[in-house]
Structure 1
């Protein structure tokens, strides 16, 4: 699995990153969903790598994906940034059009993992 982070996204990620959360996690977020296949692909900074996490090849940052979430992502991903926030794409198309800077930096409400 590989994540290409555009120059604009790298710049914004560096601006909002926190040394206490060195990993950028690719996650299939199912908070507030009724089943595990109904969720949203996201990225966010986390403190630690868990035993089931796998490394993702990336041009910047230490990127990981939870083993159980890997099946929800394409092998090639692109993380972009525009005026509205981050956007996750694959060669097949858009995966998540808007991931807020706050969500990448601070996480999402109700989440278990820090």
Structure 2
């Protein structure tokens, strides 16, 4: 997969990625969604990818993802940030996946529910 970031998304993510020495991972969260095809895309800051994660090309950031999730996304994705809504979005040339892409700032293993 290939990821392109708009200038506003780059501005929003640059300091968080640089300062924390973290990278990005695109997750397809199906927890509580009913079935696997009703998932929610989520962006996560991680310190290290999972052993089975695959690195997608990105401009200017590469993005890790679970290869099993490729079926839910098109090969080229665009991540934008709307300053007026303070929200990320995930789009392709053919569709909008979400206009409210969550950014998890902690490793999911360390988040307590």
2-side partners of 1:104 and 1:80: how far apart?
16
Unaligned regions of 5+ residues in structure 1, if any? none
Which residue is equivalent to 2:70? 70
Which residue is equivalent to 2:20? 19
**Are residues 39 and 112 of structure 1, via their aligned partners in 2, closer, same or farther at CA, if it must alter by over 3 Å?**
farther
2-side partners of 1:68 and 1:112: how far apart?
19
Residue correspondences, number: 108
Give the TM-score normalised by the residue count of structure 2: 0.82
Instruction: Give the alignment of 1:1-114 within 5 angstroms.
Output: 1-17=1-17, 19=20, 22-82=22-82, 83-84=84-85, 85-100=87-102, 103-106=103-106, 111-112=108-109
**Are residues 56 and 38 of structure 1, via their aligned partners in 2, closer, same or farther at CA, if it must alter by over 3 Å?**
same
1:16 shift after superposition: 3.4
2-side partners of 1:90 and 1:113: how far apart?
31
Give the TM-score normalised by the residue count of structure 1: 0.81
Unaligned regions of 5+ residues in structure 2, if any? none
Moved over 3 A (4+): 15-18, 111-114
